[in-house]
Amino acid sequence: MKTRNSKTNQRVARIYSVRALALVLALSLTAVTSVAASAVVAIDTATSYQVVVNKTRPLRPVTYHPSDLVRVPKYNPYSRIVRRDVSAAIVLLGNDMKVAGQGTLIVQSGYRSYGSQTTIHKAKVRALGKVHGEKLAARPGYSEHQTGLAVDFAARGVSTLQVSFAKTKAGIWLAANAYRYGFVLRYPSGKTSITGYSFEPWHFRYVGVQVATAMHDQAITTLEEFYSLPAAPNYLN
């Protein structure tokens, strides 16, 4: 068997190096494409924890009903239901909030069906007019509550569903710490032109700890901005 000289060995090494680099690049591109595709699927799929629902992005189907709804076992005097993982996160959050001396959590609202949201939407529009009513209540099929991932939080002894909740110790603690449990404050102050809704310091949305932490660390406060989606201040029709 002939022994390769040093020049031949160098040429072979370069060939394998180029091939290895090409393989790494191909795999990297595949991974990036896969992640991007997953993100698109996640924000468009009703069952996903990352689904984005707003005034231009209705649920598909609009009558979507989660299959894993459960009653939250603690902090739930009104027997609200949410998706299973959301329920577990609420209990952890409520336990830690209480230990921290920041109040006793109350689940004020959770999952709402298409039919329930129809009733709520009609009532708000009737009371406040269409423009103002739709800044507070989503149309059926466009509501985060219908996903089973949205929760309106309150605290014992605190006025519920009021902007003043933001200044209570419970509201302050939730705004600062909810991300640790997978929740984001979905309709923050000053973002109505993006979310389409007035400031709701009680309305939190479960997106999972990874996404909630990424949003917190990057100081991004809306799902629309996090996923580089168009603003959704109004319905398309």
Q: Exposure string (b/e) for 170-202, b if CB count within 10 Å is 16 or more?
A: bbebbbebbbebbbbbbbbeebeebbbbebbbb
The rounded distance, in Å, linking the Cα atoms of 119 and 112 is: 10
Contact criterion met (CB below 8 Å) for 185 and 201: yes
Residue 221 dihedral angles phi and psi, to the nearest 5° = -105, -5
Residue 200 annotated to the active site = yes
- Specify the 3-state DSSP secondary structure of 180: helix
Nearest Cα to 206, choosing from 197, 215, 219? 215
Catalytic residue among 134, 144, 200, 224: 200
Give catalytic residue positions: 200
